[in-house]
Structure formats: C-alpha cells, structure tokens
Structure 1
Amino acid sequence: MELEPGHLVAGRFRVVRFLGEGAVSAVYEAVDDVRGQHVAVKLLHRELSQNTEIVQRFEREAEAASRIGSEHIVLVHGAGASPEGRFIVLEYLDGGTLADLLRKRRPLPVEEAASLVVQLLAGLSKAHALGIVHRDLKPANLFLVPGPQGGPFLKILDFGASKLTNAGQALTRTGAMVGTPMYMSPEQIRSSDKVDPRTDVYAAGVILYESVTGKVPFDVRNAVELAFRVVSQDPPPPETHLPSLDPELSAVIRRAMSRDPDARFQTAAEMHEALCAWLQKHGIPLPPETRAAPAAAPTVVPTATPRAAPAASRSVRLVVVIGLGALLLVAAVVLALYVGVG
C-alpha cells in the first residue's frame, strides 16, 4: 500500500511523495524531522518480509553501500525496521538514471560516455578494495546528478545483489543467477556465487559499449538465447555500429568485455587508469571526484520495534534473480546448441 504524504516512517521520516517502485521495494522522498534534511526512504515490500534471502539482500544493500565511502556511491544514512516495514534511508538525489538519459538520446558523445564510465570505475575501485562486488551494474542503477561544473556526477545505486568476496558471505543459492543478463559476464551467467571484481569490469565495458554505440552488444530478447550468446560468442566490435570510433577506445571496450576474465582489465582501477589516459590524450578534462557540496555525514537510524512481522517495501531498481530452474534451462539449451554445432 502506497504511503500518503505526511506519513511518518519510524516516527521520524515524513513522506513528501512517492518516487517509484520495483520488484522488491518502494522509494519515497521524505524529510528527516530530526535533522531537517531531505532523504530517500526505501521500504521493503511487506509481502516479501518473510523471504529470508530477500530480507538479507535488502540488509546487505545498506551494509555494503555504507562501508565504501565514495562520493560515487549513494550515501546511506542508516537502516532499520518499523511498523511500516524494513527500510533504508538514503541521500536524496535529484536527477535521473543513465537509462533515462539513453532513452532520450543515444548514442552519447564518446567523451561524455567515457567520462561517465570513469566515474563509475572510481566508485567501483573503492568497493572492490573492500571486497565488495556489485553484480548488478546497468544504466538503471547509475544515477546522474548535477556536478560541480554543471556536468553530470555519477552515483552507483543498489548494492542489493552485491557479494562480499573477502568475507565468505554469499547470499546466492548454489545454481542461482543474480543480475541483469544483458550486463552479466559469462562467468556470472554460469554461477553468480563464483565471481570476483572482474565481473563488474565486464559490466562497465557493456555500459560503455552501449553508451557510445547506442546499441547493446547482443540485441536478443529471449533470456536463454541471450545467455548462450554471452557465454559462447564475442559481441560485434563497437566500431561495427560506430565506424568513426577511436581504435584505442574500442580496444578498451573490447578488453573489458573479453569472455576470458584473465584477458580483461584485472581491476576497476586498471580500467579507470586506461580510460583516464585516453581522455587526457584527447585533451578531455577528467571528471571531478567530488561534488561541489560535500555530502552529509552518515547517521545511524534507530530501529523501531515492528508491531508484527518485519515489514515491507519495494525499490527503484530492477534486479533479475533467475532461479535454479532457469539456470538448468539455460544449460540445457547451451548444451543442445553446442551438440548441434558439433
């Protein structure tokens, strides 16, 4: 049930308006009555509050994002549970996603696309240094707000599918896939619980490919066929769609999207360095690492005692969680196709 303007979440966050919802949570603009600042409140859907894995993912999102400490990661003020349900309090962002931008105009100028992905990689580098792999990078999870020089400043959203690689904590069931197939690496399609930071590098490559060409690498709507192509085929080189693309930038994209993880940039920092070098070589200013106004320091939101079961919410993102049955179907189709080819 959508909360009305004026409703108090946890007796503290006064709802201003409904912003949007996804498969797992709903997001509201609100005012923190204690600090007097605008925030975004993300509420887990009530009907999902008994799903242990989804609740753990929801809590993981707050934990992961709050640990990273990069201005390119959405700031988490706190999290808790209340009669309205489980919630996360985030910084309020005024802007739109990269997906919104690409719907309005595509392709982007190559310098604009490269500058945005440089910012994405800066945030990822901080996450990876802490052993956090995002696993669901896509244009819809990249939010653009005004930067210090008026250009877009990128914020990474939604760490609900993230994995702590150095803590031995994987919330993915064996045989399940987590992510959005169009941006998933081959190894992530095979097994989402056995990935490392290079899977985020692959996704960054796909995002750069799409941004500069206006096309996705594999324009396939069937999830099984898409999974087969990602695992078994190299995408068309980006210059297929954009013949004027600089060969050096094309090489960066193709390396990031290599099907062999060992042939990719091994870290987000390494790809960040390569893209920065390309920008500087072409006389393009590097994007700022910080916004003009520093973000407020995180605060811990006290957890109210729920009246009944822990609550509900949805989310401004779409995370595709494909169960074991779907994975087996993909495997069967891939095997059949390989046999047919042989």
Structure 2
Amino acid sequence: MTPAPTGARGLRVAFAGTPVFAATALRAMAQAGYEPVLVLTQPDRPAGRGLKLQPSPVKLLALAHGWAVQQPHGLRLDGRWADDAAAARAALQAAQPDVLVVAAYGLILPRWVLQLPRLGCLNIHASLLPRWRGAAPIQRAIEAGDACTGITIMQMDEGLDTGPIVLAEPLAIGPQESAGELHDRLAALGAELIVRALRLAEQGPLPQQPQPAEGVTYAAKVDKAEACLDWREPASVLARKVRAFDPVPGAWGWLDGAPLKVWRARAESQTAQATPGTVLAVDAGGVRVACGEGALVLTELQRAGGRRLPVADFVRGAPLRVGQSLAAPR
C-alpha cells in the first residue's frame, strides 16, 4: 500500500478523535498545513428520532476533505474487536505517521498504538492536569465551582491522563458560563495549542514536564440520573449543576409527574420555611424554588417534547403555582 501524502509542513500527522471538540482541532491543524495522513474516529452511531446511523463530526470533516478514515470498534489486538484493531494497525503502519494527535477519541489506546508513531501520541485534554483527569473535565470543573480551567497538551502514556505535559494554558471560567459555552472556548484554545505543539515538534524534541503528584482529581463520566436536581442541596450547588449539565444531559426536576428541564438558573441566599423543591414565587423574573440552603431562581425551562423557553414564555403555556413541588414524585 502506498503511504498517504505528507502534510504541507513535512510532519506526518495522524489524528484520532470523534466529537466537535476534536473536529475543531483537526480543522485548525489542516489549515496550518498538517493535513492528516490517516483519521481514526468512532463508528457511526444511531441518532435522532429515526435512530439512523450518523457519522461523527470528525468523520464528516475527513470525508469533506478526502482524508483516509478508519472506524474501529476497538484497538486491542486480543479483544472482542481484534479484527478491527488489526485493520487499524495495518492502516497506521501504512500511513507511517510521525505523531498521532488524540482529542476526545473515546477509545483507550493500547501500547501498540502509543509506540507506533516516531514521536508518540499527543493528547488535547480540556483541563489543567493533573486536575480533572478522565472523561468529563469540563462539566466537573463547573460543577465543582472552579474559577479556572484550561488546555493541556500531554505526551500520552498507558495511564489515564498521566503523561508528561508538553504545553498548558489556563482559561478563566465565566461566573454564569455553561458547559457548552466553555466547551467551545476550550476547543478553540486546544486547536491553537496543538498547532503550536506540532510546530515545536518540527524543531526538535518536545518539552516534557512531569505532572505534579499533588492535586490529582478524576472527572467521572456524567450519568443522566445525577442531573436530577436534589432540592435538599444548597442553591449555589444546584446552580452550578444547571450550568455543568447544559447542554448534556440537562439538569431536571419534576412537574406534574413528568421531567422538567432546567437550563438557566441563579442562586439566591434568601431562606424560607418550606420543603425543598417547593415553588416560592412565580413572576416574569423567574420561578423561585426552596432549596436546602437559599433558593434557586429558574429562568429558562423546557417541558418534555417542548422547546427551551425563557420563564416568562414558559409559564404562559404551563402555569406554575406557589406551593407546587418540583421534587421527585413519591
């Protein structure tokens, strides 16, 4: 098999990634002259009401540019998807990449992948490592009330986000910023930093700083069940959860026995002698709900099957009344 053509800058770069976060980096790399010699992305998944198979954003970008694509279900040569892994290895070997850039790929890279490129594998991670290693660093940073996060370009090893740091740059988290909004800013920063790292790689050995032993935290994947608001918690905690789980999976309470999505909210320190989850007031400024501490003011809501609406529009079509409970039905 004839190797794919080398990128305009001379460094042979392969890419592994799946969602929009990854596609943002891949597009920036190509614009900087680092067109991929091979793209790895997750297999097409069912989506939408018809559950039709949909290609990932990275695959769509690759197809639009005519880049070679592989979509293995797994990469372990001795696992369930051994045939997929063998095909991916053959494609990578034929492409002869100097480096593999990885961004939100969704598959664990076994040793054979990490060792195949001459310069190894560089990961674009959406936190300042070692804080928030793992699957959901953006959501967990907001949920925890962090004032700052950032992007780390990491030389990958066999651990979970444990490799040495090549580049890192902080990014302040806005006081009302949602995970979706922060995601877009981090994606742009990640794209900028990976291009910078590839340019450094062309000049010589990359800088590598071991991660600090202190400050390690893990960002577990977000489960839909944890997005159900527990009104016994402080309003400040619930406000952070609303931001952290926007747009996926969306924080929610209950209204008339059906889920009620809460997309925007703010915490107030006022106290009330009411059971947590009880509606305290309804007006054009928001729906005030009693919490374990303070009150949460809901300003953007969505009923099942409906649209996201400002609270003033929502209450016209689905009236809420003082004394009503938004807690889970018993």
Q: Same fold (TM over 0.5)?
A: no
More helix, by proportion? 1
Which TM class, normalised by the smaller chain length?
under 0.3
Q: Which has the larger radius of gyration?
A: 2
More strand by share: 2
The structure whose RCO (Cα within 8 Å, separation 6+) is larger is: 1
TM (norm. structure 1) is 0.25
